[in-house]
Structure formats: C-alpha cells, structure tokens
Chain A
Amino acid sequence: MTTEGPVAELDDVTFGYTTTPVVEDISLRIEQGEYAAIVGPNGSGKSTLMRLILGLLEPDSGSARLFGEPAHRFDEGSRVGYVAQQASASKEMPITVREVVKMGRFPHVGYGLLSASDWEVVDRALDVVGMSAFADRPVTQLSGGQRQRAFIARALAGEADLLVLDEPTVGVDAESVDAFYALLETLNDDGITVLLVEHDLRAVTDHAERVVCLNRRLRFDGPTEEFVDSDALAETFGTAVSAVGESG
C-alpha cells in the first residue's frame, strides 16, 4: 500500500522522560522508499527518536506524524514492521518460525483465523528471507541472524510499507550481518522504506543511503557520502571513528 506524502515526519520534536530532554528540536522527514539510518553515540536519544517516530512515545512539544496521522494515534499497525535487538527477543519460549511470522497477519485477521491466502502470504514472506526450510524449527534453535530474518519475515507477512529496525545486528555473527544487510537492500529495492537505528557505523556507511546523526539534537541529516566527509562524524563520535569515513 502506498500513500502520498512522507512516511514519517517530525516537526520540532522535543521529548524527555524527566524534565531533561533526551531529544530536542528534531525535525526530519522520511520519504517513501528511503533507506535511512539513525546513528549516534550511546545515550544520544536514537532509540527514543525511533519510539517517537513509531508513536510509542508522544512528544512533549512539536509533532510526530506517521503516514500523515499523529504517530501516537496511528492505527494501521500492519503498515509498520518492527524488528528489535535480537537480545530482547531471546526468551526461551517454545515457538516455531512459522508461528512468529504468522503474527504479522494478526493485525489483518483480528480475532479470526488465518485464511488460506493469509498462510500464502506467510509462506511467501518466509521464502523472501530465505527461511522456508526453517519454518517449523523452534526460534530458540536459530542463530542470531536467522532469528532476525524471521522477524523481518513477520514484518513482510504484515505487508508493511515501513520497516523499522532497532540495532538489529547486535549479537549477530559477522558473516550473517553482511547477508542481513543484503536482505535489507533487496527489500528496499522492492519499495519498502527502511529505517535503521544502528550503532555500527561501518554497516551504516556501507548500506544506508541517508544518515540521521543525533546527539540529543540533530547533528547531521543527509546522504551517507556527505556524512562520511562531514565534521558531524568526528564531532559526535570523536576522532577515533573518523577512520570509518576514510575506509567507507
């Protein structure tokens, strides 16, 4: 499903869990089909910004809109797929990959049963992420990378237009990380908007088209190649990581 206008839009957003703002005066627009990454050092407010974009938090001031609606009142949940850090989903719960992917259909079916066409969507999502062979395997028996693929499949099963990932490769082995980002690029090529919150600057500079750099306030917002050459990188992260710019 596509609509006119930006996927997400923040206008002068300020938010704090206490009286001290965690993010301040943030304005940005995520357009359809973009592959954007939010970066920043620990405590910079990037996960909070993501939660504001998703409508999980309401701004103290300013406005956050998702698909044109106030984000905290946005109710077309199936349009947004969310993938958390794999560490947060590592519960020892007996559940198969297919059961996880099936959850993507829940916003569509409500209290009802999945129809044959719903199951087709689930199977197709499993196929897209290369997890069909693992469909009946318990999630607890998967590697970190496989598990994150299963969560992406859940978002695809929901037929999401926007895929939001919060540090998805934490705890994922290096080999799987490359394959994971290749998958994200493929999905983005297919028209899905990808918004990534990432601590791994090299992954961002290698894959994302746009970087939003944050340290409470917006430090940079523009194409990745400009970020690599900008002062924002060194100013926000210190000189130690400027090597990313040279190699990236």
Chain B
Amino acid sequence: MTKSLAFIVAQSSPLDAVLAPVYWLLAQWSEFMFDVARWTGLGLLQYQYMHRAVLVGLCIGVMAPLIGTFLVHRQLALIGDALAHTAFAGVAVGLFLNAVLDFGVSPYLTAIIVAMIAALSIELISEVTDAYNDVSMAIVLSTGFALGTTLISLNAGGLSVGIDQYLFGNLATVSRENAAILLVLFAVIVGTIALTRNQLLYVTFDETAAEVAGIPVNWYNRTMVVLTALVVVGAMQIMGVILVAAMLVVPVAGAAQVSRSFTGSLLSSVVLAELAVVVGIGLSYYGEATAGGVIVLVAVAIYVACIVLGRLRTALGEESAAETARIDASGADSKAEPTTD
C-alpha cells in the first residue's frame, strides 16, 4: 500500500499529485475486484479497465438519479440533454487546446468548465425571463453541439479519430485519471445533495412557498443546474454525450411509477439505475455492444416493468381506495371542526 502511494505521488503531473489519494482508492477497488473475479469466476472482472468502468458505472447509478429526481419533478428533464451537448463542446475545446497548443489537459476538465458555464447561463436566462423554456434549451443544446463539431472539423485529421468515445461512451477508455476525476465529482455531487436536500426538495415541490419561507430559490436553482452539469460530464465517459441524459430521467421516471413518498422515489431510482448499470455493463461486455446504449435499453425495460407494476398496484388498490373514500365522506364533518392542542 505504502509502495503504491509513493509511486503515485512520484507522478509528474500536478493533477496526479492532487488525485494521489483517489488513485490509492482506485488501486484498492481494483484489488477487491480481482478478489471478486476469483470468487465468482466472472471473466469481465479480470481486467483492470473493467474495474474502473464498473466503479464509474456504479457512481453514475447513484449520482444521476439523485439529481435527476429533482430535475424530473420540476419538468426539467431536457436540461440534461442540453448540458450534455455543451459538455461535448467542452471536450472539443480540450482536444483543440491539446492539438493546437499542446496543453495536455484532460478534455473532461474542459467539459466540466464549459458545461458549468452553460448551466449557469441557462439558469440566469431563466431568472431574467422568469421561466425555463424549450426554446432557450434547444438553442443552448444546438450551440454546444455546433461549437463542438466546428472545433473538431478545424482539426479533422487529429481529432475526429477519438471523438466516438465522447459521443457514444466507452468502457475501455475510462482512464485512471478520468476515473479519479469522476470519483471527486461523485463526492462533490453526493455531498452537496446530502447537505442541501431539504432546500432542494422545497424548491422542487413548491418554489413560491420556498421563497416565502426564506429559502434563496435562485441560489438553489443554480446549485441544481451546476450539479447537473457535473453529473453529465461524469457520466459521459461511459454513457456518451447522446445518451447521458437518459440516466438522469429514465430511472427517476420508473421510480415515480412505484413510489409513494419522495424518499422512496429517491432510493428506488438509485436502485433501478444501479440495476440498469450492472446488467447493462454485463450484457454489453459479453454481447460486445456499446455500454451506453445497452444500459439505457435495460433502464427503459425496467421503466416499462415499473409502469406495469404501478398499474397492477393501482388496479389492486382500487378496492381499498373506494373503501377509503367512504371513510373520507363519513369523516368530512369531523374534519370541519378540527381540534387544537
């Protein structure tokens, strides 16, 4: 352990020095995965790149539905798509800087910066116009993608070769550095949501009442969109630009079908997302298909199953609901004169 840590610290890049503790965690995770491979005989866990891919997938399965739950219930499902496309522009900026100026910066870091700027722009536009709207999101989405494709075309010879991994995601290209960046993002995102869960819930459910209650609504809206940008960039490695928004929306939509409470829907959406990630990565590995696509297809299948389950529960519950309605009607008089303590 000490030897590996010393090796990591000896790395040349300043980013490597900052990420050294995370690299150590990744090394521990990899050792654990090798053990799991030995115990289970699972072929896909015999490769170190798959260890990173599984870890990144599991992190996406937590953070995407966590923030997605707040977005979906504010009818902001499309914001993930818009930010993913601006993140693509950020990737292109990184690749461009590397090709032209030999910066050696991870395109994911430039993607984080560009996506955060785009996220705050969308939020500030909505604050000025007093509404989120499809048009502004469509414009941000198109601008991001147009900027990305333009920058790439300017350097077509060198850049277009590696662009597929950003568009469609790739299990095999999750580098140690990118996995470490994602773990840092994961800690920031989950920590922020855990800290501000009360305020985010109030703002999501009833923005005006939250404002009256003294919660700085604009501040939390900005927090929400910036966190979304971070999730999108983090998840892009495996899911790709085109499909990343699905993980913000599909598990949440499935959870909404089977949950009665907000806490329940948060937990269910994480469980459903993790199921989609684990099954999706497994199927894509053995089926030699693109992981992002398979994960989303599994998530959609789970969503359909949730709809069926939700309908079944409703049908079975109709009788008891009718019974409750009778109780409501007979209890109306007593509610007209509520008691006070």
Complex contact B337–A94 (CB within 8 A)? no
* Beta-carbon contact of B335 and A94 below 8 Å: no
A88 to B208 alpha-carbon distance, docked (Å): 10
Q: With A56-B211, A77-B212 in contact, is A130–B260 under 8 Å at CB?
A: no
Whether A179 pairs with B213 at a CB distance below 8 angstroms is no
The smallest beta-carbon distance between B275 and chain A, in angstroms, is 19
Q: How far is the CB of A110 from chain B (nearest CB, A)?
A: 7
Residues B262 and A94 in contact, CB atoms below 8 Å apart: yes
Contact A186 B337 (CB under 8 A): yes
User: A-facing mask of B187-216, CB < 8 A → 1, else 0?
Assistant: 000000001101101101110111111110
CA gap between A62 and B331 in the complex, in Å: 48
Contacts of A190 in B (CB 8 A): 340
When chains A and B are docked, how far (Å) is the Cα of A130 from the Cα of B335? 5
Q: Which of A51-73 contact B (CB under 8 A)?
A: 54, 56
CB of B263 within 8 Å of the partner chain: yes
**Other-chain contact of A107, B213, B264, B341 (Cβ < 8 Å):** B213
Nearest chain-B residue to A124 (Cβ)? B341
Note all chain B residues with C-beta closer than 8 A to A128.
Answer: 338-341
> Chain B contacts of A103 at CB under 8 A?
198, 201-202, 205-206, 209-210, 213
Chain A residues with CB below 8 A from B335, complex form: 130, 149, 179, 183
| Chain B hits for A154, CB < 8 A | 209
Residue-wise interface mask of A (82-100) relative to B, using a CB-CB cutoff of 8 A (1 in contact, 0 not) = 1110001101111110011
Q: What are the interface flags for A104-128 relative to B under an 8 Å C-beta threshold, 1 for contact and 0 otherwise?
A: 1011011100000000000010011
> A100 to chain B: which residues have CB within 8 Å?
205
Q: Does B321 contact A (CB under 8 A)?
A: yes
Check A138–B334 contact: CB distance below 8 A: no
Give the CA-CA distance A158 to B261 in the complex, in Å.
21
Q: Is the CB of A82 within 8 A of B209?
A: yes
On whether the beta carbons of A76 and B214 are closer than 8 Å, the reply is: yes
Tell me whether B256 and A56 are in contact (CB under 8 A).
no
Interface size class of B (residues with CB under 8 A): 35 or more
**Docked-complex contact B198 and A110, CB < 8 angstroms:** yes
Distance of A83 Cα from B340 Cα, bound (Å) = 20
Taking a contact as CB atoms closer than 8 A, the residue among B255, B263, B338 that contacts A186 in the complex is: B338
| Interfacial residues of chain A within 128-145, with CB under 8 A of chain B in the complex | 128-130, 133, 136-138, 141, 143
| Interface residue B31 (Cβ < 8 Å from any Cβ of A) | no
Is there a chain B Cβ closer than 8 Å to A4's Cβ?
no
A178 beta carbon closer than 8 Å to chain B: yes
A246 at the interface (CB under 8 A from B): no
Tell me whether A141 and B321 are in contact (CB under 8 A): yes
B223 within 8 A of A: no
Q: Report yes or no: A111 in contact with B260, Cβ–Cβ below 8 A.
A: no
Is the beta-carbon distance between A107 and B340 smaller than 8 angstroms?
A: no
- Minimum Cβ distance to chain B for residue A95 (Å): 4
Within 8 A of A (CB), among B221-272: 255-256, 259-265
**Bound-state Cα–Cα, A129 to B331, Å:** 13
For chain B, residues 299 to 341, give those with C-beta under 8 angstroms from any C-beta of chain A.
Answer: 321, 328, 331-332, 334-341
Q: Could you say which residues of chain B place their CB within 8 Å of the CB of A94? A: 255-256, 259-262, 264-265
CB distance from A91 to the nearest CB of B (A): 6
Can you name the residue of chain B whose Cβ is closest to the Cβ of A107?
B213
Task: Tell me if A78 is interfacial: C-beta within 8 Å of chain B.
Answer: yes
In the bound complex, residues from chain B placing their C-beta under 8 Å from that of A78 are 213-214
CA distance A75 to B201 in the complex (A): 19
List residues of chain B with CB within 8 A of the CB of A151: 209
Instruction: Name the contact of A92 in the complex, choosing from B256, B334, B339 (C-beta under 8 A).
Output: B256
Q: Is A36 an interface residue (CB 8 A)?
A: no
Residues of chain A within 8 A of B73, CB atoms compared: 91, 93
CA distance A138 to B317 in the complex (A): 13
* Given A89-B206, A103-B202, A176-B332; A111-B195 close (CB under 8 Å): yes
Q: Quick one: CB contact mask for A179-217 with B, threshold 8 Å, 1 for yes?
A: 100110010001000000000000000000000000000
Of the candidates B201, B206, B264, B331, the one having the most CB atoms from chain A within 10 angstroms of its own CB is B206
Bound CA span A152–B332, Å: 17
Give chain B nearest CB distance to A108 CB in angstroms. 10
Residue numbers of A with Cβ under 8 A of B are: 54, 56, 74-78, 80-84, 88-89, 91-96, 99-100, 103-104, 106-107, 109-111, 124, 127-130, 133, 136-138, 141, 143, 146, 149, 151, 154, 158, 164, 175-176, 178-179, 182-183, 186, 190
Which 9 pairs, one residue from A and one from B, show the smallest C-beta to C-beta distance? A77-B214, A179-B336, A130-B335, A77-B213, A82-B212, A94-B259, A95-B262, A130-B338, A94-B265
| Interface contacts beyond A81-B212, A103-B213: sample of 12 additional A-B pairs, CB < 8 Å, sorted by A | A78-B214, A82-B208, A82-B209, A91-B205, A94-B260, A96-B260, A103-B201, A103-B205, A107-B213, A128-B339, A137-B260, A179-B335
